[in-house]
Amino acid sequence: MKKIGRIALFALLFSFSLLVVGCRNKKPSGPVDPNKPIDPTKEVEIEYWHANGSALTVVLEEIKASFEAKYPNYKVTLVSYGDYTTLRDTITGAIAAGVTPTAAQTYPDHVALYLQGKSLVALDSYINDPEYGMSAEEQAQFVEGFWAEGTIYDEAGTRYAMPFNKSTELMYYNKTIFDKYKWSVPQTWDDVIEISEKWKKTPEYKAAVAQYGQNQVFAMGYDSEANLFITLTQQYGATYTSFDANGKGVFNAFGAVAEDTAKSKASMNWYYDEYKKGNIGTCTAFGTDYCSDAFKNGQCIMTIGSSAGATYNDGQQSSGTKFDTAVTAVPQKDLTNGQVIQQGTNVSLFKCDTKEEELAGWLWLKHMVSYESALTWALNTSYFPIRKDVLNSKEYQNHVQGNIVLDDGTVVPGTQSLAAKAKQAGILQADWFYTNIAFNGSSKARDKAETLVQLMLYGDKTVDQAYEEVYKTLR
């Protein structure tokens, strides 16, 4: 990349619009000729921008060390921006200034934004390169849904990303109460409502109402209001967003397509009714930052949240009555049409000033998603394995089971942690994972999905009024 100081880069963010208005001043001519050998004496610096915190950066440093040991002439600089919004906005400003990194951690809607500035490299030519690429067997090792997400940016299926850290949503429940009343673990929303009505007759429910008030006690909490809207829309058979015949993004479920909007509205009408009955709420209703807080408070006995945040739902960490937490799949409207959101980030390559830097950036990304690196990441973080060979490895299976492996190779059965149980339960939903297409403006749809739910539940709007108000802003 072109070098400027980080302070200067932040200053540039105030000087350039956060809309993508340009691309790099120098355009590389394309991938390195595969017949041209790499000069082992020529050093190349790779800047990788990400949003991981200190604990995850430690794992990244381990991956970086193994990469630099393999390619001594390449040096990787890890630059953290602390959170994904700051990372996105910094890169957007950098695109306008022509000072992008070599590679970066990306969400799908971020990629769609960066593509407006023509700043990303399509990875297909590198993947298919006979010397530097990936074999068909190697590509087949990735979990299908994770791998497919890198191709959702146009109808041609051009790849602009590869999977890195992945999670999903799961349902956490108060196992102590479920065991006490011998309730079956719910699989469908009908099951959830049945248990909700039973819970209202328990002394635990009455105690929670006495402490927090009836308006802040529900059987289930849903942590993300945006995910609630998107997932229920999908479960009711509607298309959330799509491309039209001209390749332009369409906000199907918000009003652009009558059939999809009708199905989406049916899901929200159902949710609205169950909210009014006191069965299902969100963190806004609980008066907490996250539903995991309400769950540990006893304000709900079930909650849907990220698989990567399992430890926050540990009932043994409750400040009040402690309880055991169990984890299971997200309830479905119809078990034959399972729909669960696929979450987490990918990694993408930016156009560089030299062919050598671009190739080095590709090799860095390839190393990040390799078996070695993916295993390191899966063993040391709360995220899923992105590869089947990692998922099926002895190392990962012992890890997720909580087993202890002695120096002589003897495996001693251990105790499975809640985080490990969440990783195990989450990946079992892989066949249900859905991914929405990403286009310029698709991130607005997610923001408006959250707004719609809040208008409907807490903004004194009917379901129809909430849809109408949101669609006006999207159009």
- Quote the CA–CA distance of 120 and 142 in Å, as a whole number: 22
Average pLDDT, integer, range 374-383:
96
- Quote the CA–CA distance of 66 and 57 in Å, as a whole number: 14
Angle, alpha carbons 133-372-46 (nearest 5°): 60
- Quote the CA–CA distance of 446 and 434 in Å, as a whole number: 15
Q: Specify the range with the lowest mean pLDDT, choosing from 40-54, 174-188, 283-297.
A: 40-54
The answer to whether residue 187 scores a pLDDT higher than 50 is yes
Average pLDDT, integer, range 280-288:
94
Say how many residues make up the chain.
475
Tell me, what's the pLDDT at 31?
56
- DSSP assignments along 141-197, one per residue: TB-HHHHHGGG-SSTT-----EEEEEEEEEEEEEHHHHHHHTPPPP-BHHHHHHHHH
Tell me, what's the pLDDT at 13?
39
434 Cβ partners below 8 Å, 6+ apart?
145, 234, 339, 340, 341, 342
Q: What are phi and psi of 188, to 5 degrees?
A: -120, 170
pLDDT digits (tens, 9 = 90+) for 412-460: 888 889 999 999 999 999 899 988 888 888 888 888 999 999 999 999 8
Per DSSP, the three-state class of 278 is: coil
Tell me, what's the pLDDT at 33?
59
Tell me, what's the pLDDT at 16?
38
Report which residue type is found at 387. R
- Quote the CA–CA distance of 169 and 363 in Å, as a whole number: 31
pLDDT averaged over the chain?
A: 90
Q: Which residue has the higher pLDDT, 26 or 335?
A: 335
Q: Are 291 and 283 in contact (CB under 8 A)?
A: yes
Q: How many CA atoms lie within 13 A of 222 on its CB side?
A: 24
The answer to whether residue 202 scores a pLDDT higher than 70 is yes
- Quote the CA–CA distance of 112 and 91 in Å, as a whole number: 13
Tell me, what's the pLDDT at 415?
86
The answer to whether residue 93 scores a pLDDT higher than 50 is yes
**Closest Cα to residue 424, out of 389, 382, 387, 395?**
382
276 Cβ partners below 8 Å, 6+ apart?
none
473 Cβ partners below 8 Å, 6+ apart?
444, 448
Tell me, what's the pLDDT at 3?
37
Which residues lie across from 350 on neighbouring strands?
A: 120
- DSSP assignments along 324-352, one per residue: -EEEEPPPBS-GGG--EEEEEEEEEEB--
Q: List Cα–Cα distances, 421 to 172, 210, 239, 329, 382, in angstroms.
A: 11, 33, 31, 11, 10
Q: List Cα–Cα distances, 25 to 6, 114, 117, 139, 352, in angstroms.
A: 19, 15, 12, 33, 10
Which residues lie across from 48 on neighbouring strands?
A: 78, 103
Average pLDDT, integer, range 466-471:
96
pLDDT digits (tens, 9 = 90+) for 2-49: 433 333 343 333 333 333 333 333 344 455 555 666 565 678 999 999
Which residues lie across from 194 on neighbouring strands?
A: none
Tell me, what's the pLDDT at 23?
33
Place of tokens 């039973």: 198
Tell me, what's the pLDDT at 14?
36
Burial 286-314 (b: 16+ CB within 10 A, else e): bebebbbbbbbbbbbbbbbbbbbbbebbb
Residue 145 corresponds to which tokens in the numbers above? Answer: 């849904």
Tell me, what's the pLDDT at 77?
97
Tell me, what's the pLDDT at 331?
98
Q: What stretch of H or E contains 131?
A: none
Largest CA distance in the chain: 75
Q: Which residue has the higher pLDDT, 276 or 19?
A: 276
